[in-house]
Structure 1
């Protein structure tokens, strides 16, 4: 079964700028390309930062305002960007990046935790290799039912291959996977549902209708730790 990585969904042709790119050129680029951020790269294509719409909006936010008070450190930093003239002065650095072989789920979690809308993808030397956006991560969810069914079948086979279990029946309908049939043990039933839930394209639910012959949950669940004095 194929595991989807960032390089399966990222955009390799990335719009980027250098640190000396003027403010107005960055604005024109974002508006003209209908994007909300650009990576800033050095002469070796290493990502040194990102300029986003929020960075650019500092000029609007602080227009006509006086100096922040001495204890308003965050606003002082923001106002510094309001006076910026180049991408290098505007950018947020260091940039939050990922490698091409990072899992799609890792990218989704990082986008959520960081609050950004896109992540530059870099190779082992830190050079720009692509960019992934929130909408790119949804490509995994556009897989056909047939493709998902094939991967679910492979996942089921991996779990039950060591057992003399009857065949597990699989149905896939627009991201909902239904499992039915019988397995030898409770632990197999649990592992089966968890494994299938990781299949790319299983986006709604796993309906688990599998039954088991032997309840082994007390044998596989960890008991209290024993300490010897």
Structure 2
């Protein structure tokens, strides 16, 4: 079991396929195919990341080949035209590269990927030197946590933190969905408990069936029969 939040440094790939600015178009295509990746960091000097070449960058050349003479530039940006005519990584790459540091949380990295529409992010140190790479698949590893692990962390980080002097809610987890049921003394803490439970990594959804001052009589989590859901 691990405590939230996990960072990019916990899940990144350390062995990274990279290229230099002088790599030719065909070398880049071959390296992508051999490494079975969709993008390559471009390194300069002592391993500083100066850009990234992706499959999308390379496809501009194919679009140019299939366009009517003189028409490609009229319907595409100058950057697209430059990449379509480029033959080395220096002119093909997207620069500056979108990178993250090892201490970036998985949630932050996922947000950056979604906003910038990229599938992989180079991981760099304070001097922009490459330390690894993180992919969408790496970020999804948190959802491999077992129900038992999730329930234990919800009880420790949510129930014990908010309700230290009382029995607190019962915690059930089934397929990553957390159910908080029972009685608490302060009604104002009920929505807080739900929000905090959602921050635990691996949680798919949260249902709160809590009442203040009286015994909660709500429903049970789906599949919560004997042996189905895990209790912390």
Tell me if TM exceeds 0.5.
Answer: yes
Determine whether 1:159 maps to 2:162: yes
Which deviates more from structure 2 when the two are superposed, residues 19-28 or residues 147-156? 147-156
Q: What are the Cα deviations for residues 36-75 of structure 1, in whole angstroms up to 9, with x where unaligned?
A: 10010112111100000011111111016434588x4843
| Paired residues for 1:29-44 under 5 Å | 29-44=31-46
Q: What are the Cα deviations for residues 149-201 of structure 1, in whole angstroms up to 9, with x where unaligned?
A: 1211111211212xx33232111111111111211112211111111110011
SS at match of 2:5: coil
In structure 2, what is the Cα distance between the partners aligned to 1:74 and 1:46? 30
* Aligned 8 A contact 1:111 1:119 in 2: yes
* Aligned 8 A contact 2:72 2:81 in 1: no
In structure 1, what is the Cα distance between the partners aligned to 2:72 and 2:63? 16
**Deviating runs (4+, > 4 A) in structure 1?**
none
In structure 1, what is the Cα distance between the partners aligned to 2:179 and 2:151? 10
Offset at residue 208 of structure 1 (A): 0.6
| Corresponding residue of 1:178 | 179
Name the Cα RMSD after superposition: 1.8
| Corresponding residue of 1:211 | 211
In structure 2, what is the Cα distance between the partners aligned to 1:99 and 1:174? 31
* TM-score normalized with structure 1 length: 0.86
| Corresponding residue of 1:125 | 127
| Corresponding residue of 1:85 | 87
SS at match of 1:207: strand
| Corresponding residue of 1:148 | 150
What are structure 1's unaligned runs of at least 5 residues? 215-229
What are structure 2's unaligned runs of at least 5 residues? 215-232
In structure 2, what is the Cα distance between the partners aligned to 1:24 and 1:61? 16
In structure 1, what is the Cα distance between the partners aligned to 2:201 and 2:21? 38
* TM-score normalized with structure 2 length: 0.85
In structure 2, what is the Cα distance between the partners aligned to 1:187 and 1:39? 49
